């Protein structure tokens, strides 16, 4: 059925997004970029790609944050083009994608205000895809309820927020809890929406969102070691759409150290590799291998744990990129829109990393980015 009717409203935009995808940097271009000596070389090299002359009018010297901003602007422009040309249900789908950025922005502003940052500065650091009208007013909120009643009630995030409204004051722990509650509600809602679309969209999006859910569950578990977060509270934050749900989630809720997390993830074959040492589906090079080995030996010093977490994060990214690439194998579905944005974000992260390495002259780590295609 999708093959029959999809192109009526979605064909044009699918074509556009596949065209955008063809413009993603290739391995060869990444290789060329890593050979650059200076940021100027970097710019010259990028001008030969799909980015074109996006930096041509910037006065020298160019900072890495400019590159990142401009590249993000490219993505935002593309996304807005897609969004303004989309009709239901694709427009709703694209809207759902922006909710994640909204959550990030809300948390960013609350945290920033809490630490006494300047509001305008915070607003500039917000992701442009997640900006909404009343966002600046977030900074007046002092507790969760106020937050909800003054600002969030009229945003799409309101239904996610409703569950987590308690009179609690805003502090770092609570903000983190709010973030994860919001995310849990968001992921579950998004997944439900994708399921309602049915067809390959539901299938592929479920695969991607399930991984996202599991990743969050694992991250929450690891990050909650040694904090005041009780195990019951922790269990409440786990999204219920992942592949670990329900046994894995329960096991994670009880976990006390990395080893138990590893055991909880054991039933899912793909996740097993994340905890393997050095080799396998890990990072592009063997960097950080020693830390992983240390973990296996049961030495859970704080620094090692952080190293392991960073390492794990990279592997998550690699796996996410892999899943997103798979989304392009099927036609007549909306997951390509999601995947494209995620891949482009990854690309921007990689570009920023390379540029940063060039700027700081840390050439030995320049290959630690995650290539997309």
Partner 1 sequence: MGDEYPTLFRSEQMSLVQLIVPTEVAHDTIAELGELGNVQFKDLNPDVNPFQRSFVGEIRRIDEMARRVRFFASQVEKEKEPIPIRPLYDSAPLLTVGPRGAQTIDELDVKLAEHEARLTQMNESYQLLSERLRELVEARHVLRETAVFFEQAAVRETEARTSLDDSSAPLLQHDDREQQFSSGELQFDLEFVAGTIDRARLSTFERVLWRVLRGNLYMNYIDIQEPFVDPATGAETRKNVFIIFAHGDILLSKIRKIAESMGATIYPIDVNADKRADSMREVTGRLEDLQIVLYNTGANRRAELMTIGENLASWQDVVAKEKLIYETLNLLNYDVRRKTLIAEGWCPTRDIPQIQLALRHATEESGTNVPPILHELRTNRTPPTFHRTNKFTEGFQTIMDAYGVATYQEVNPGLFAVITFPFLFAVMFGDIGHGFIITIAAALMILFERNLGKADLGEIIGTFFFGRYIILLMGFFSIYTGFLYNDIFSKSLHLFHSGWDFREDYFNGTVGASNGHTYPFGIDPAWHGAENGLLFTNSYKMKMSIVLGVIHMTFAVCLQVPNHIRFKRFSDIYTNFIPQMIFLQSIFGYLVICIIYKWTVDWEKATTQPPSLLNMLISMVLSPGSVDPESQLYPGQSTVQVILLLLAGICVPWLLVTKPYLQWQEMKKIQGQGYIGLGADDAPRHTDDTTLEGEEEGNGRAIVEANDEEHEQHDFSEVVVHQVIHTIEFCLGCVSHTASYLRLWALSLAHAQLSEVLWDMTIAKVLGMSGLIGIIALILVGAMWLVLTIAILCVMEGLSAFLHALRLHWVEANSKHYEAGGYQFVPLSFARLNEKQ
Binding residues for partner 1, rule: CB under 8 A, are 32, 35-36, 40-41, 44-45, 48, 56-57, 59-60, 119-120, 123, 133-134, 136-137, 139-140, 149-151, 153-154
- Residue ranges with strand state E in 226-281: none
Judged by beta carbon, residue 137 or residue 235, the one nearer partner 1 is 137
Judged by beta carbon, residue 151 or residue 312, the one nearer partner 1 is 151
Q: Name the minimum Å distance from CB 170 to partner 1.
A: 15
In Å, how far are 4, 117, 118, 138, 175 from 114, measured between CA atoms?
A: 53, 8, 10, 11, 10
Judged by beta carbon, residue 42 or residue 338, the one nearer partner 1 is 42
Judged by beta carbon, residue 156 or residue 199, the one nearer partner 1 is 156
Neighbours of 305 (CB within 10 A): 19
In Å, how far are 52, 286, 296 from 217, measured between CA atoms?
A: 39, 26, 21
Angle CA(134)–CA(183)–CA(143) in degrees, nearest 5? 50
Rounded CA separation 64/95 (Å): 29
Q: Name the minimum Å distance from CB 63 to partner 1.
A: 16
Q: Is the dihedral of CA 358, 363, 369, 371 positive or negative?
A: positive
> How many CA atoms does the CB half-sphere of 173 hold within 13 Å?
10
Q: Name the minimum Å distance from CB 234 to partner 1.
A: 33
Task: Name the maximum alpha-carbon separation found in the chain.
Answer: 58
Judged by beta carbon, residue 115 or residue 226, the one nearer partner 1 is 115
The answer to whether the beta carbons of residues 247 and 267 sit under 8 Å apart is: yes
Q: Name the minimum Å distance from CB 137 to partner 1.
A: 4
Q: Name the minimum Å distance from CB 140 to partner 1.
A: 5
Under DSSP, the state recorded for 318 is H
Q: Name the minimum Å distance from CB 55 to partner 1.
A: 10
Judged by beta carbon, residue 85 or residue 119, the one nearer partner 1 is 119
The answer to whether the beta carbons of residues 132 and 166 sit under 8 Å apart is: no
**For residue 143, what are the β-bridge partners?**
169
**For residue 169, what are the β-bridge partners?**
143
Q: Name the minimum Å distance from CB 285 to partner 1.
A: 23
Judged by beta carbon, residue 152 or residue 194, the one nearer partner 1 is 152
| Chain CA centroid to CA 244, Å | 19
Q: Name the minimum Å distance from CB 358 to partner 1.
A: 12
Judged by beta carbon, residue 147 or residue 323, the one nearer partner 1 is 147
Neighbours of 22 (CB within 10 A): 10
Retrieve residue 51's tokens.
């980015």
Q: Name the minimum Å distance from CB 208 to partner 1.
A: 34
Judged by beta carbon, residue 22 or residue 48, the one nearer partner 1 is 48
Q: If you count DSSP H runs as helices and E runs as strands, how many of each does the chain have, helices first? A: 18, 0
């Amino acid at each position: 059925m999708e093959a029959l009717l999809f192109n009526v409203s979605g064909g044009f935009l699918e074509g556009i997004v596949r065209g955008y995808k063809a413009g993603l940097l290739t391995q060869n271009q990444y290789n060329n970029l890593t050979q650059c000596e200076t940021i100027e070389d970097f710019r010259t090299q990028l001008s030969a790609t799909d980015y074109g002359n996006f930096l041509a009018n910037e006065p020298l010297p160019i900072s890495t944050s400019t590159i990142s901003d401009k590249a993000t602007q490219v993505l935002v422009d593309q996304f807005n083009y897609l969004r303004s040309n989309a009709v239901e249900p694709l427009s709703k789908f694209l809207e759902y994608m922006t909710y994640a950025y909204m959550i990030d922005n809300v948390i960013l502003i609350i945290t920033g205000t809490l630490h006494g940052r300047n509001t305008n500065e915070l607003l500039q650091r917000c992701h442009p895809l997640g900006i909404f009208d009343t966002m600046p007013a977030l900074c007046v909120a002092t507790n969760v309820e106020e937050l909800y009643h003054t600002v969030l009630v009229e945003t799409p995030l309101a239904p996610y927020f409703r569950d987590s409204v308690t009179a609690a004051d805003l502090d770092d722990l609570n903000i983190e809890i709010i973030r994860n509650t919001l995310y849990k509600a968001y992921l579950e809602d998004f997944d439900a929406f994708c399921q309602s679309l049915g067809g390959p969209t539901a299938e592929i999006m479920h695969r991607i969102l399930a991984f996202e859910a599991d990743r969050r569950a694992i991250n929450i578990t690891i990050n909650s070691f040694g904090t005041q977060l009780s195990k019951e509270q922790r269990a409440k934050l786990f999204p219920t759409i992942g592949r670990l749900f329900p046994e894995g989630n329960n096991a994670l809720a009880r976990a006390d150290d990395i080893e138990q997390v590893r055991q909880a993830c054991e039933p899912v074959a793909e996740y097993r590799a994340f905890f393997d040492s050095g080799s396998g589906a890990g990072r592009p090079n063997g960097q950080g291998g020693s830390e992983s080995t240390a973990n296996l030996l049961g030495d859970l010093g704080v620094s090692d744990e952080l190293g392991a977490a960073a390492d794990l994060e990279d592997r998550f990214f690699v796996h996410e990129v892999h899943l997103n690439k798979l989304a392009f194998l099927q036609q007549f579905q909306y997951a390509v829109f999601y995947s494209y944005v995620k891949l482009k974000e990854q690309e921007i992260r990689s570009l920023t990393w390379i540029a940063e390495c060039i700027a700081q002259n840390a050439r030995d780590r320049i290959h630690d980015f995650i290539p997309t295609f």
